[in-house]
Amino acid sequence: MSNVVYEQREVKRSRYAVAAVFAVHGAVTGSFATRVPWIQDHAGVSAGQLGIALAFPALGASIAMPLAGSISHRFGARNALRGLIALWTLSLVLPSLAPNLLTLCLALFTYGATAGMADVAMNALGVEVENRLSRSIMSGLHGMWSAGALVGSAAGTLAAHLGSDARLHHVLAAAVLTVAGVLSCQWVLDLQPAEDEDPPPRFALPPRSALLIGAIGFCAVFAEGASLDWSAVYLREQLQTSAGLAAACTTGFTLTMAIARIAGDRIVDRFGAVRTVRASGVLAVLGGLLIVVAEQPAVAMAGFALMGLGIAVVVPLCFAAAGRSGANPSLAIAGVATITYTSGLIAPSAIGMLAQATSLMVSFALVTLLSGGLVAFARVLRPGDRAKTSLPDAAVPDPRP
């Protein structure tokens, strides 16, 4: 077997392995989110205290993400991802064991730190595989994350419906997901630093290129966080719908995002990242306008669906652009991830505070305005040079039917 054919098979196998890791990562998130009420009761915390505790995952991720590059340099990409995804899956158990607010905050800080480092490592490997294939795969990888989150949420919903103790549920889920994650890492690319390559700093601020790219991600994640946390409330309070219809709106928003991400790679390959994000921004703005002017639930639900379609592929493309923006992909990806995590942290509370001061309609007018930033600044996602790491043209497989 020639070296080219062997590398072709290795890269293709790594693509599916990284996709499996993304799904495992999402499944952990879904498993946790559905048991938050049980965790709140077990820890004996109020709604306000729970809100404080739920800020700690983003805090832990923001602090730990810049460490991922040095870990990958020291242990190699495959071993680093294997260890980090195992720490992440096992950390699922910690919040359900917390008996009070202090231990819950510490557990969620650890949970977020391991999530963030694993996030950077798997996105860096995804970008490397994308570069070697010379075609977009990052949107599909994030679609697998969404699919994993839906599966984890479904399992968690069933466990909650059956009245299962979240400690038992999360121990079993962590065991299954740890095995799945570690086994999947066996087939990812085993990237090793060159002998003359200097190790990255253990902790460093993100490069300027990551800040520019992260600004695009900030706009998209702000709209995502606002829609996920406030879409049901918007339909209930602004349009006086039933609780079931309001919940269906949030579910529909999540599904449109997952579907758009899975289908997004074909669109990016055909039209390019810049034009795709500009068109996505137009859809998001149109969705936001429908939400703001809606007098009927169906119009608002259509607006949230368009918002989901519009922002779905933006964050994957931000990670891909960050990975091609400089000599240290992990550091750039960590910078973009930190900015997007921060956006996801502040969006729900910012929407709430603005709604309290004015109205939810004004809050989503802000979301619509930020969505316009996707159109205005999409050019910072222009593709870099993939030729340095791609396979020869004759060796690049086309897995599409």
| pLDDT at res. 229 | 76
Q: What letter would DSSP give residue 358?
A: S
1-190 with 204-383: one CATH topology? yes
pLDDT band at 387 (very low <50, low <70, confident <90, very high): very low
Of residues 236, 266, 263, the one with CA closest to residue 250: 236
pLDDT at 391 over 70: no
- pLDDT at 83 > cutoff 70: yes
Cα–Cα distance between 287 and 301 in angstroms, integer? 9
Distance CA 290, CA 275 (A): 23
Higher-scoring residue by pLDDT: 11, 387: 11
Instruction: Name which residue leads in pLDDT, 356 or 129.
Output: 129
Does residue 369 register a pLDDT over 60?
Answer: yes
pLDDT digits over 262-320, tens only?
999 999 999 999 999 999 999 999 999 999 999 999 999 999 999 999 999 999 999 99
Which CATH class for the 204-383 domain?
Answer: mainly alpha
Q: How confident is the model at residue 389 (pLDDT cuts 50, 70, 90)?
A: very low
Which pLDDT band, with edges at 50, 70 and 90, does 352 fall under? confident
Check whether 401 has a pLDDT greater than 60. no
Report the share of the chain in percent with pLDDT over 70. Answer: 90
pLDDT tens-digit readout, 28-73? 988 888 888 899 999 999 877 887 888 888 889 888 988 888 898 8
Alpha-carbon distances, residue 133 vs 18, 232, 312, 313, 387 (angstroms): 14, 40, 22, 19, 10
Query: From its phi and psi, is residue 296 left (phi > 0), alpha (psi between -120 and 50) or beta?
Result: beta
pLDDT of residue 203: 56
Query: How far is residue 175's CA from residue 40's CA, in Å, rounded to a whole number?
Result: 23
In this model, does residue 348 exceed pLDDT 50? yes
31 vs 228, residue with greater confidence: 31
The domain segmentation of the chain, as residue ranges, is 1-190, 204-383
What global pTM score does this model have? Answer: 0.82
Provide CB contacts within 8 A for 198, sequence distance 6+.
none
CA-wise closest residue to 143 among 57, 254, 283: 254
Average pLDDT, integer, range 188-200 = 72
Res 326 pLDDT > 90: no
Round to whole Å and give the CA distance between 344 and 167: 27
3-class SS of residue 319: helix
Over the stretch 270-282, which tens digit does the pLDDT of each residue have? 999 999 999 999 9
Per-residue pLDDT, 399: 35
| 199 vs 279, more confident | 279
pLDDT at residue 107 is higher than 80: yes
In this predicted structure, the answer to whether residue 349 has a pLDDT above a threshold of 60 is yes
CATH class in words for 1-190: mainly alpha
Tell me the C-alpha to C-alpha distance, in Å, between residue 190 and each of 82, 137, 396.
Answer: 11, 19, 19
pLDDT over 80 (residue 161): yes
The percentage of residues in the chain with a pLDDT greater than 90, rounded to a whole number, is 50
Average pLDDT, the chain: 86
| Of 33 and 216, the one with more pLDDT | 216
Contact assessment for residue 109 and residue 374, using Cβ atoms and an 8 Å cutoff:
no
